Amino acid sequence: MTAATAKKAGQAKKKIAIVVGRFNEPICARLLEGCLDQLTKHGYRRSDVVITWVPGAFEIPLTALKHAQKKTIAAVICLGAVIQGETDHYRLVADGAARGIMEVGLLTQKPVIFEVLATPTVELANQRAKTRGSNKGRDAADAAVEMINIIQEI
């Protein structure tokens, strides 16, 4: 059932929450922009979306959990960028974010979409967050809408 179908059936359309890590903000802002553009194509208005910025990718799971626990939220999209530095710290952050985000979905039984880039270079992250062309934020929006529909059908 699409958002438009749910609205026609008299059901209140639930909101989508987007949690965005502020670390590597230029990249994350483009992911968010792509995500919002794609949600618009799926029939969501800006008022249907709740955006929360957090310090970085490691802080995303807790915030995603708080959103997913709300009855008014149908799905949570998690956006961030972790880029390799001189140490393995980025692996710990990326692994922790991935594990935490997965657990939120399992705990709440709601779609929680993982789109935290983990790349060895800024260039590779930028290639995945283009204003025009490839943008993983768009992919995250598509996944969220598809999963909302799947969960509703089950």
Question: Which of 8, 41, 89, 99 does the annotation list as catalytic?
Answer: 89
Is 42 among the residues known to form the active site? no
Distant-in-sequence, close-in-space partners of 105: CB < 8 Å, separation ≥ 6: 68, 111, 112
Question: Residues of 47-84 as b/e, b for ≥16 C-beta within 10 angstroms?
Answer: ebbeeebbebbbbbbebbbebbeeeebbbbbbbbbbbb
**CA pair distance 139, 144, nearest whole angstrom:** 9
The secondary structure element, H or E, covering residue 151 is helix 136-153
Beta-sheet pairing, 112-119 with 49-54: unpaired
Active site residues: 89
